[in-house]
Each structure stands twice: as structure tokens, then as C-alpha cells.
Structure 1
Amino acid sequence: MTASLSNPAMQAKLRRTGLMALSIALGAFGLGFASVPLYRYFCQVTGFGGTTQRGETVPGVLPVAGKTMSVRFDSNVAPGMPWQFKPEHTTQTVEIGARAFTTFIAKNMSDKPVTGTAVFNVTPTQSGIYFTKIQCFCFTEQTLQPGQEVRMPVIYYVDPKILDDPDNKDTQQITLSYTFNPVEPSANRS
């Protein structure tokens, strides 16, 4: 066996096999880091899992006369999050394609400043691609001082393309759900 390892052809074959194994390991490692942003991008593009769209304006989207959608608002706080959090109104009927505005109310019930971030989703999940948020408190972290209560706006619209989607032909209500989670303090924050 020792004689065959000194063979230059065998050494080249072992080197290729080793490099191939190393390449596969590095590729798997890199894919592990890239999977979260790739999945997030996939969800944003397709609306998969109830991921909403994010828009700056409403380019070329016009209201559809006589076509409305009921939008229900749901709010939750993660265990250990010392906030009260609720929608100002639990439902709205909006004209499809028109800008709509709603407000959520949050109050810090603790005696310390608390920073939170909201995660969100839309149900039914196939309607997420047609629900576009223009402005939302969920785009940034929110810090509330002890006892502070704030009103947090959401500006959104339901894209008229939902009317042409066979998967949404029976959709009469969309639920926008938020859960506030505490943001752990970091040594890197200033």
C-alpha cells in the first residue's frame, strides 16, 4: 500500500478527491449562511408563507371601483415582552388598489426602556404577495420608555392583481398579524 501512495498518479487522484471534498464542505458552509437571506428574498418575491410586499409608492396601481376586501388586524407579544399591543380597529373594509391607513397602539408596561421588533405575516398565505405595505412600524426597531404609549401607523394597499388570481378567488378577508419580540441589548449598540 505504501508503494502505491508514492505513485504520482495516485497522489494526484488523492489530491483531487481531497479538493473536491473540501469544495463540497465549503459550499455547504456557504449555503448555510446564504440560506436565510435567500429564503427571505424568495418569500418577498413570491409572497410565500404570507410574506407581504414592501413598496415606497403605489406606481400604476389604481383603486378598483366596487371591489373591496376586509382586512383584519391581529396583534401579539412574545412571552416576556412587557408591552400591551393592539390594533386601534380590528377590521377595515378597503377598496382594492386604494391606499389604506391603520394604527396599532403599544404601551411599555415595565419600569425600563424596552426595544422591540415586529414580525408579521398575512393569511391566507397566498394573498401575501398582493398585500403591500408602504409604511410600517415593523420596518424598524421600536423603543418605548417606561410607561410610554405610542400610536404606530401602517399604510398599505391590496394589489388589484389579487382579483385575477384563481388561488384568491374566494378570498374575502385578509388577516395582517404582528408579533412584537424583545430585542436583546448588544454590546455593539450605542
Structure 2
Amino acid sequence: MSRMTGKYRTLTQLAGVVVLMGSLAWASVPLYDLFCRVTGFGGVTARGTGSDEILDQTIKIRFDASISRGMPWEFKPVEREMEIRIGETGLAFYEAHNPTDHPIAGQASYNVAPYAAGGYFTKVDCFCFTEQVLQPGETVLMPVSFYVDPAILEDAEGKYVHTITLGYTFYEIDLPEEAQAALRLSDSPTDIN
């Protein structure tokens, strides 16, 4: 009987380990995202409303764009770089084009390089905060407004940053319910009786 109890105990412990590992795997992405947003680790930017302090010192901002494999959009920055004063709110545009004959929804992920600048690069408004739906042949300009927090100059690594690169990657997502419903309506035959 003790031999069977030992097997059940081992089996129960093994099942517990599997459940624990599955739970950790499931929670790892949201927890890592939260960690990056709080610390700026991995080049994740902050969100804000604007800086109260604008310095005379400038910093160069470069803009990069890419699309994930299989995403049929064309996507690029309108302006490749700009120079702004630290604390000053900048405004940049990215252009997206849907060359297909059907609507496509996309979501942008972003990063900032170097990583030391991630926590100080603050987005005020960004197209990456919401999903985007482009109709067939549609081209749109998508704005991002931002500033570099003056506190970057007090950071041990950040004070040596003279150029920041803001990069976006667009990937395809499922069409929202409203867009799917509109597509079904436009594809349905009309009754002329």
C-alpha cells in the first residue's frame, strides 16, 4: 500500500509542477510587459501628457518602420529623423497603405533604442495605442506625439544618449466585429424586389 501511496504522491507532485509551470508561462507575458512599462527595460516607453520643463539641449530622434512576416501593408516613417529640445513635445507621422482588395486590421508594437532611453521617451499620443483598420487601397498618416523627459540627463547611462530610435512593427490582427459586419453587408446580394 505504501508503494501505491508513493506513486500517487509523485504523480500529484508532477501534476502540481505542470500546473505551476503552465501558470507561470501563461502569466509571463503580461508580467514582463508590466515590468518593462514600469522600469523602461527593453526600450519600452512611458505615457504622459507633456513635460513641464524644456531644456536648451537637443536630442536627435530617428524613426524606423517594419512589418511582420505576412502583413501585406506598406509602412514607413514620413520623416526619417528630427532634432528636438529635451522636454519639447515632438510630432512625427508614419504612413501605412493597404494595397490589397480587402480590409486589413493591424496593431503596432514599438521599441526604443538604446534601452537606457526607454523610460525617458514618453509618448503623449500614438497610433500604437489602438488597432488600425485600413480599407482596400487606403493610405493613412498616423501621428505619434512624444517628448524626452529631462530626467534623462540625471541617469547614469541616459545622460550619454544623443540619438534615440523609435521603431514600430505592424502585424496583422483579426478584423474587429464592426468591420467584419460591414464587410458581410457589402458582400451580401441586394434584393431588388
Mark the runs of 5 or more structure 1 residues left unpaired by the alignment.
Answer: none
The reply to whether residue 107 of structure 1 matches residue 91 of structure 2 is no
Q: d(CA) in 1 for partners of 2:53 and 2:163?
A: 17
- 1:139-158 equivalences under 5 Å are 139-158=129-148
Given that 2:58 and 2:83 are in contact with CA atoms closer than 8 Å, whether structure 1 keeps it comes out as yes
The amino acid that maps onto 2:27 is: A
Partner of residue 171, structure 1: 161
Task: Return the offset for 1:82.
Answer: 2.2
The count of corresponding residues between Structure 1 and Structure 2 is 179
Write out per-residue CA displacement over residues 147-178 of structure 1, whole angstroms, 9 at most, x where no aligned residue.
11111110111111110111122211100011
The amino acid that maps onto 2:114 is: P
Partner of residue 128, structure 2: 138
- 1:66-81 equivalences under 5 Å are 66-81=56-71
TM-score by length of 2: 0.82
Q: d(CA) in 1 for partners of 2:62 and 2:7?
A: 62
Given that 2:60 and 2:82 are in contact with CA atoms closer than 8 Å, whether structure 1 keeps it comes out as yes
Partner of residue 92, structure 1: 82
Task: Return the offset for 1:146.
Answer: 0.9
Task: Identify if the C-alpha distance between structure 1 residues 73 and 51 changes in structure 2 by more than 3 Å, giving closer, same or farther.
Answer: same
Task: Return the offset for 1:20.
Answer: 4.5
The amino acid that maps onto 1:25 is: V
The amino acid that maps onto 2:173 is: V
Q: d(CA) in 2 for partners of 1:126 and 1:133?
A: 16
Task: Return the offset for 1:14.
Answer: 7.1
Partner of residue 112, structure 2: 122
The reply to whether residue 63 of structure 1 matches residue 53 of structure 2 is yes
Partner of residue 24, structure 1: 17
SS at match of 1:82: coil
SS at match of 1:118: strand
Partner of residue 46, structure 1: 39
Given that 1:63 and 1:95 are in contact with CA atoms closer than 8 Å, whether structure 2 keeps it comes out as no
Given that 1:51 and 1:121 are in contact with CA atoms closer than 8 Å, whether structure 2 keeps it comes out as yes
TM-score by length of 1: 0.83
SS at match of 2:140: strand
Q: d(CA) in 2 for partners of 1:186 and 1:150?
A: 18
SS at match of 1:166: coil
Task: Identify if the C-alpha distance between structure 1 residues 19 and 68 changes in structure 2 by more than 3 Å, giving closer, same or farther.
Answer: same
SS at match of 2:70: coil
Given that 1:113 and 1:145 are in contact with CA atoms closer than 8 Å, whether structure 2 keeps it comes out as yes
Mark the runs of 5 or more structure 2 residues left unpaired by the alignment.
Answer: 182-193
The amino acid that maps onto 2:156 is: P
Write out per-residue CA displacement over residues 12-33 of structure 1, whole angstroms, 9 at most, x where no aligned residue.
x777666544433322221111
Task: Identify if the C-alpha distance between structure 1 residues 186 and 26 changes in structure 2 by more than 3 Å, giving closer, same or farther.
Answer: farther
